[in-house]
Amino acid sequence: MNRKISSALISVFHKDGLEPIVRELDKQGVKLYSTGGTEKFINDLGIPVTAVEDITEYPSIFGGRVKTLHPKVFGGILHRREHVGDQKEVQEYGVPPIDLVIVDLYPFEETVAAGGTEEEIIEKIDIGGIALIRGAAKNFNDVLIVSSRDQYDEVLRLVKEGSGETSLAQRQLFATRAFQTSSHYDTAIFNYMNDSMEVPSFKVSMNHEKKLRYGENPHQEGRFFGNLDEYFEQLHGKELSYNNLLDVDAAVQLMAEFDTNEKVFAILKHNNACGIAVANDLKTAYQRAFAADTLSAFGGVLITNQTVNREVAEEISTLFFEILIAPEIETEAFDLLSQKKNRILLIQRKQWDEKQQFRSVFNGALVQSYDRKSDEKLDLETKTKRAPSSDEVESLLFASKICKHSKSNTIVLAKDGQLLASGLGQTSRVDALTHAIAKARNFGLDLKGASMASDAFFPFADCVEIAHEARIESVIQPGGSVKDQLSIDFCNEKGMSMVFTGIRHFKH
């Protein structure tokens, strides 16, 4: 059923984009009501507008906290146009009908993000605006609600094309969006308040939605909710897929382990590093990363924390890869790399800095803080007679960083700032180690003097025994097994060094 817009209440924080709507409504003879700054804005356009105070016969009070919260305003919105009793009361109490409500809420999230004081943040909790949105949305049978400035262009087109008439389906669509607006707004407020109160409730709301070509597999639907533009600028290539996004997330988290003064290059496949290295120059770092697994690198995701120049671009362009992530890509490098039309080139705008992760399980969600603990020199407790040398310590910490970001059970072998091999996602730690050793040998990498990292403790001495046979000389692990001493005794017998961190890094 169509409804003609004869009157409109407009109360917005941001005035950008509002003028064309106001002028069109005035052109169609719509009676305008408004408040405060919005009323002044409309007046300054030379368009007639009635102040809400003239309807309510009550001024804006408490510093503007109470303006529209009045029966004549909400009655004008909520009364049912075809309900005899409602129409009788409209006449009895002099309630002016309101057919269109345009509201733009106080910028609560923006104020929090800008580091506002608690007083500033609290004052940006919109009360009247939220009430207007909910009231108009509830009565979508008769009223059109515009709940965000993002909808201004659409509503202007709607009003023009329909000559001020709207259909029930159109009003219901805008009402649904309105409840999404109010829900998102309240979620943001709750999460801000609950940061210190810890009320047991899990609420997430994300407005940005991107429909993906498919999910993990072609027969699955996939969508991404979030703001990718906050993290990346895509310079070139096809749209990111579901699996691409998982790989990019894993790559960015791994790279966040390293300082920007270290020249690091990594290659990932299926969310795990198949190659990563540190070197004095970026080209060498890439070459060393690639050497760890020249097979898995095909079709992988490349990431670095340094600017990619022409020389590096020439080196990596010999490899077929899906994605390159870097803080900057020089023009000449871009010209070369963009010759492959589907190759995705991403500029990383900010360092990864998330605090909470969640995943669906059964009919609920598992929520935890991210593993933001990285093993450091001060965490290392030497458990063997021989302490690791300074070079071994660096290799152990390097291996530990990779291990933390690898699928459990995992063993990582590294030396001199280079991943030599890793055993990933195995059901036993022995399998992970034997896989890593075999892989390193397959690619001709010498394990003599290498360091070994484990994401969890060794329940028996078998892993250090196998490591010794492969000429691995230093070990880092969390410790905590009732049989830790077996591994310690074997290392002492063979002159190996082993350190405990006390921190497990499972990743499932």
Residues taking part in catalysis: 138, 270
CA atoms within 13 A on the CB side of 364: 4
- Identity of residue 79: H
Residue 178: helix, strand or coil by DSSP? helix
For the stretch 419-424, contacts whose Cβ atoms lie closer than 8 Å and that sit 24 or more positions apart, written own/partner, are 419/273, 419/275, 419/276, 419/277, 419/289, 419/292, 420/292, 420/445, 420/447, 420/450, 421/292, 421/293, 421/445, 422/272, 422/273, 422/274, 424/272
CA–CA gap between residue 278 and residue 289 (Å, rounded) = 8
Ranges assigned E (strand) in 13-70: 31-34, 50-51
Euclidean distance between the first and final Cα of the chain, in Å?
53
In angstroms, how far is CA 495 from the centroid of its own chain? 46
In angstroms, how far is CA 486 from the centroid of its own chain? 44
CA–CA gap between residue 239 and residue 379 (Å, rounded) = 42
CA atoms within 13 A on the CB side of 34: 24
Assess contact for 187 and 203: CB atoms under 8 A. Answer: yes
Residues whose CB is less than 8 angstroms from the CB of residue 223 and which lie 6 or more positions away in sequence, other chains included: 209, 210, 211, 212
CA–CA gap between residue 156 and residue 21 (Å, rounded) = 5
Residue 199: helix, strand or coil by DSSP? coil
| Strand pairing class (321-326; 344-348) | parallel
Helix/strand number for the chain, H first, E second: 18, 23
Angular region, 449: left φ>0, alpha ψ -120 to 50, beta rest: left
Assess contact for 272 and 406: CB atoms under 8 A. Answer: yes
- Number of Cβ within 10 Å of residue 187's Cβ equals 15
Q: What is the dihedral of CA 255, 261, 264, 268, to 10 degrees?
A: 10
Cα–Cα–Cα angle for 347, 351, 356, rounded to 5 degrees: 125
